């Protein structure tokens, strides 16, 4: 009877350990919360100029391969979905390694009498933001509204 109790205790301990060790995969959680697979994107990043737009509060930011997951809060029209774009400036600082590219998430507001605070997770393909499209090329992304640089390693 004692050996069986010890065996049950040992198996249940390993089960609890295995379940809790997998709980820190927040990047995958962001993809699941957005309701999309990792191959579906809300936005394709592009190189261009920044435009004036309403403020977007970035609550969380995760990177996985060529994808950025933005968890954001913004004021938008009640019954309509805004169109977002992720823009990187063409010029980048190549005097340091890795080079740094300035990036901004922006949208054009929809004129509506009803406005509300919205919460959303955007899945953004960032392949265009690399300084060179070669395997393992590193680029630091300085994202407007985010406190730290994000290291992006290009994956073909």
Q: What digits encode the pLDDT tens for the residues 11-54?
A: 565 555 444 444 444 444 555 555 555 567 888 999 999 999 88
Mean of the pLDDT values across residues 97-101? 90
- Label residues 22-46 b or e (16+ Cβ within 10 Å = b): eeeeeeeebbeebebeeeebbbebe
The domain that holds 149 is classified in CATH as 2.60.40
Mean pLDDT of the chain: 81
Report the percentage of the chain scoring pLDDT > 70: 75
Q: In total, how many domains does the chain have?
A: 1
> Before 104, cis peptide (omega within 30)?
no
Residue range of the domain that includes 111 = 27-153
Name the residue among 34, 97, 98 with its Cα closest to residue 60: 34
Residue-level pLDDT at 6? 62
- Written as six digits, the tokens of 50 are 């920044």
């Amino acid at each position: 009877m004692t050996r069986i109790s010890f065996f049950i205790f040992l198996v249940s301990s390993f089960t609890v350990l295995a379940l809790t060790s997998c709980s820190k995969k927040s990047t995958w959680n962001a993809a699941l919360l957005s309701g999309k697979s990792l191959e579906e994107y809300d936005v394709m990043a592009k190189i261009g100029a920044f435009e004036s737009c309403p403020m977007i509060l970035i609550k969380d930011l995760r990177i996985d391969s060529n994808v950025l997951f933005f968890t954001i809060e913004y004021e938008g029209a009640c019954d309509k979905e805004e169109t977002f774009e992720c823009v990187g400036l063409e010029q980048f600082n190549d005097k340091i390694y890795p080079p740094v590219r300035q990036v901004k998430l922006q949208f054009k507001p929809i004129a509506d009498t009803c406005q509300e605070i919205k919460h959303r997770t955007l899945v953004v393909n960032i392949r265009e933001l690399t300084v060179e499209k070669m395997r393992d090329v590193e680029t630091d992304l300085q994202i407007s509204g985010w406190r730290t640089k994000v290291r992006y390693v290009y994956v073909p």
